[in-house]
Amino acid sequence: MSPERLISLRGVTVDLPVQETRARSLRKAALGIAVGGVLMRSRNDQVTVRALTQINLDAHNGDRIALVGSNGAGKSTLLRVLAGIYPPTSGTITTSGTISAVFDSSLGLDMNLSGYDNIAVACRYRGIDRATMESLRPSIIEFSGLGGFIHLPMRTYSLGMMARLAFAVTTSMTPDILVMDEWLATGDAAFMEQAQSRLHELVDEARILILATHSMSLVKTLCNKVAVLDHGRIAYFGPIEDLPPGVYPPLA
């Protein structure tokens, strides 16, 4: 019996607008965008970047997929499509099961609220219902190691304290599909050891891992498939051992 398919992308194309940019400043805009994007101009003179073009990809239970390619190739955009942050301009995406994205973990946090209240905000942002949030909150606070600081406004936190709380929330539940942009390393040495241990647990327990990375050691250690992105298109997708010679990146 073939493994259950949990992700299916068909003809997914993503155009991202470059805000406040007209033809006069097109050259300036081009310098500020990802190098892999394709610049376009619409009839109303709005500049857009075609970040992904006609992406077809299936992921099945048990897949550990590395997204690789040069900077600007479309890896992060594809992750954000999978996480539901970017809707496709055209094409379809079908997913089955819960999805957790371990990137931009501070999204949705309110600097004027306490860390305690921000747990509810962050959980709601990630689609976690109130009852589940209440059951998770004690373990989130314990894992963050913030102690009494949890009741202070987040504007009083250091960047490391914010990162610890955000990471504790983001990784508080094991998803069916785990989406990661690079392997996370945050906080002081003691917390990094905790974080690394939790990430490995999530990877082991998730049904699918999709990891965008430049680290070939991670690709070979964690993944069984690789998708090579080139200027927003998939140049290769399949088992790592079948990667044709000369296709970026070298995995030997």
3-state secondary structure of 64: strand
Residues 94 and 109 in one domain: no
Query: Distance (Å, rounded) from C-alpha 49 to C-alpha 212?
Result: 20
Residues 215 and 132 in one domain: no
pLDDT of residue 91: 97
Residues 45 and 76 in one domain: yes
- Residue 124 falls within a domain, yes or no? yes
> For residue 250, what are its two tokens?
């070298």
Number of structural domains in the chain? 2
Residues 143 and 94 in one domain: no
Low-confidence ranges of the chain (pLDDT < 50): 1, 21, 23, 27, 29-35
- Residue 160 falls within a domain, yes or no? yes
- Residue 167 falls within a domain, yes or no? yes
Residues 41 and 80 in one domain: yes
Q: Mind listing the pLDDT tens digit for each residue in 90-123? A: 999 999 988 988 876 566 688 999 999 999 998 8
Q: Which is nearest to 161 in space by CA: 181, 182, 141? A: 141
Residues 60 and 128 in one domain: no
- The DSSP symbol for 151 reads G
Query: Distance (Å, rounded) from C-alpha 36 to C-alpha 230?
Result: 7
- Residue 223 falls within a domain, yes or no? yes
Residues 92 and 154 in one domain: no
Residues 55 and 14 in one domain: yes
- Residue 69 falls within a domain, yes or no? yes
β-pairing verdict for 233-239 and 225-230: antiparallel
pLDDT of residue 40: 60
**Is residue 93 within a helix (H) or strand (E), and if so which, with residue range?**
strand 90-95
Query: Distance (Å, rounded) from C-alpha 129 to C-alpha 140?
Result: 15
pLDDT of residue 116: 96
Identify the CATH number of the domain in which residue 88 sits.
Answer: 3.40.50.300
Measured in whole angstroms, how far is the alpha carbon of residue 219 from the centre of its chain?
16
> For residue 111, what are its two tokens?
């600097």
> Which of 173, 195, 224 is at the close of a domain?
173
Residues 16 and 140 in one domain: no
Radius of gyration of the chain (CA): 20
pLDDT of residue 152: 97
- Residue 133 falls within a domain, yes or no? yes
- Residue 109 falls within a domain, yes or no? yes
Q: Mind listing the pLDDT tens digit for each residue in 51-87? A: 999 999 999 999 999 999 988 899 999 999 998 889 9
Question: Which residues on adjacent β-strands are paired with residue 9?
Answer: 57, 93
- The owner of tokens 């088992």 is 239
Residues 16 and 79 in one domain: yes
Query: Distance (Å, rounded) from C-alpha 57 to C-alpha 206?
Result: 19
3-state secondary structure of 86: coil
pLDDT of residue 155: 93
- Residue 86 falls within a domain, yes or no? yes
Residues 93 and 19 in one domain: yes
Residues 91 and 27 in one domain: yes
Bond prior to 239 in cis (omega within 30° of 0):
no
pTM: 0.81
Structural domain that includes position 147 = 104-173
In this structure, the number of other CB atoms found within 10 A of the CB of residue 241 comes to 9
